[in-house]
Structure formats: C-alpha cells, structure tokens
Amino acid sequence: MIKRIGILTGGGDCCGLNQTIRGAVYRAKDFNYEIFGIRDGWKGLLEGLISPITLTDVEELVDKAGTYLGSSRTNPYKIKGGIKNVLRTIKNYGLDAIIAAGGEDTLGVANQLYKEEKINIVGAPKTMDNDLNGTDYTFGFDSSVTRAVEALRSLEDTGRSHHRVMVLEVMGRHAGWVALFTGIAGGADWILIPEYETDIDEMCKQLQRVYVRKRYALVVTSEGVILPGTSGEKEELDQFGHMILKERGVGNQLKKVICEKTGLEVRHSVIGHMQRGGIPTVFDRILGLRSGVTAVNLIHEGKYGYMAALKGNEVIGVPLEEAVSKLKLVDKKWWKLAEVFFK
C-alpha cells in the first residue's frame, strides 16, 4: 500500500516544474498520500536531502518558473556506489513510490531504476528542448519559445533601425524545435537547426534579397548547429555525456560567415539561460499541473514505469521506455512548413 511519495526534479530547470510539484501535492491529498520533496534531482537520493512538502509550500508556486526542489545533472549510475545509496535512502525515508520530473537523462535513470531495481517510479516529462519521445509536447518548451520570440522581435526593432542582419542563437541542444518555433512565430528570414544542413551560399543570397526589400534581416540558429566546414569541437561533458553547446558559439561563427559573404553589417545575440526563466505561459502551467496530477494517478493505479504524457488533448500514461528509446527530432513536415517562410 502506498503511504509516502517522493518527488524530484532533475536536469535543466524549465517552466512548468513548480506547477508539476504543486499538481502532485494537491492530488496526493485526495488519497491521503504524504509527499516528500527530494532536493536537487538524483543527488537528493544519493545524499538523503529529503523533507516533507505541504500545501503551504506549494500553493504560491502557481506562476513561478524554476523548481522549488532544486535540480542537478547528477547521474547516480556514474557514481561509485551510487545506486546502493539511492536504494538505502529510499528505504530509510520509507518512500513507497517516486515521481521523477525530467527529460531524457532523468527519465533514463528512472526507467533503469524501475527495470533493474524494481522501484515504484513514474515520470513527468519536461524539457524546454521538446525532444522527448512519447509525448506531443513537454512543458517548458512553450515558455522558452515565448521568451525567444520576444527576444527576436526586440532584435528586429534594433536591426531595422541600424539596417543590420541580426542573428539570434537559442538553446535546444541537438533538436531544432526551439529554433524552428522561434523562427516561424517571430518572423525569421532564415532558420538553422541541427537536423538539416544549411547551404551557406543559399542562405546568404536569401539574406541579401531580403535586405534589398526591407534593409534588415533576422536569422535564428539553434545552438546545436554545426556549420559546414567547421567541426563540433570537444567541450567539457556533464555526467550524462552532454557538451555545453552555448560555449561553442555557433551564433558568433554565423555572424562572421554572413558578414564575410554578404558584406552586410551583422550582430549576434545569445539568449541562453534567460530562456529558462520568466513567467511560465498558461500552456506550461496547465500542462505542468496536469502532469503532476496524472503522475499521482499513475501511482494510485499502480502503473509504475509510466510517465504522464500529452497525447492530443489528453494527459495519459505512456511507458518510460518509449520516452528514452530515441530523441524526438524535427521531422520533414515541420521543416517544410518553416521553409515556406524563408526559402
């Protein structure tokens, strides 16, 4: 019988996480489950950073970005004795089930713990990158794109005044969803995403054509793009083996290439972590709340090894295995739609 649930948030923070915690705490009271907050992702289970969460703790999280529980990119499978410590903490605190809110890395660990250690675990899929398989959209994506579109429109104001090409580099890791949606919704004249290689000459010709018409142009690039003729240099890796792409500076490389090839004046901006904060959009707030509620429902139904996924208009249980089997990348259909606006 379930008495006590632990909840953690792992990986990069994003909008909707606080609302997920809030949703879970509110739903848990319907079943008289106690909810314990696990601090800083899997680190909290390694180190026993755990304490009860009450309604008072979460009721004002309705419109707050970030995560009240803290987060980290700690991978217990990469730490000597890590899994032993995780299991010990679960036992010591009497956690009957765990909700892990996270992206591919956090849910990958959750899935492994479920399969190999038989832990009662369910997931709440989050990531501003929207690259998680098995769910139509992840919370965090809508707010981060909203932030990036605002930034692009600001760049338009200054680009128009100074007759410049303005390049905006956005996050998104190896999936181009954030750049794609920012570019389409914000009126970019060219979009670069990791999934489809850009023809630099074709891009420069298009920017020159656009420039003749309006005397400025807007370019959006995803941080994960590797420009033809350059290599993705080796960077420091986190515990899940991911490079810190922002440091590679594709926006800056692109600025130089466009300037050289077109002779136009070019500036670039990197929105970076600003995309992860701010006020969560209504879409992310509602999806976060629904994910938290559904995660507790899944526990109540004994559907361990599942996550609360958005399918159409419903939030339903989908096996964690589906989420971690592959990355959800931008498909041809979406790319063709984007090209309508810049080719």
Residues of the shown chain interacting with ligand F6P in the complex, contacts defined by CB under 6 A: 12, 73, 127-129, 171-173, 223, 244-245, 276
Q: In the complex, what is the shortest distance from the CB of residue 140 to ligand F6P, in angstroms, rounded to a whole number? A: 8
Instruction: State the residue number with the nearest CB to ligand F6P.
Output: 171
Q: In the complex, what is the shortest distance from the CB of residue 15 to ligand F6P, in angstroms, rounded to a whole number? A: 12
State which residue, 33 or 139, has the beta carbon closest to ligand F6P: 139
Lookup: tokens for 152 = 């692009």
Judge whether 238 counts as a catalytic residue.
no
Q: In the complex, what is the shortest distance from the CB of residue 244 to ligand F6P, in angstroms, rounded to a whole number? A: 5
State which residue, 61 or 245, has the beta carbon closest to ligand F6P: 245
State which residue, 12 or 159, has the beta carbon closest to ligand F6P: 12
State which residue, 39 or 147, has the beta carbon closest to ligand F6P: 147
How far is the C-alpha of 55 from the C-alpha of 99, rounded, in Å?
Answer: 17
Q: In the complex, what is the shortest distance from the CB of residue 64 to ligand F6P, in angstroms, rounded to a whole number? A: 18
Catalytic choice (129, 131, 142, 189) = 129
Catalytic sites, residue numbers: 129
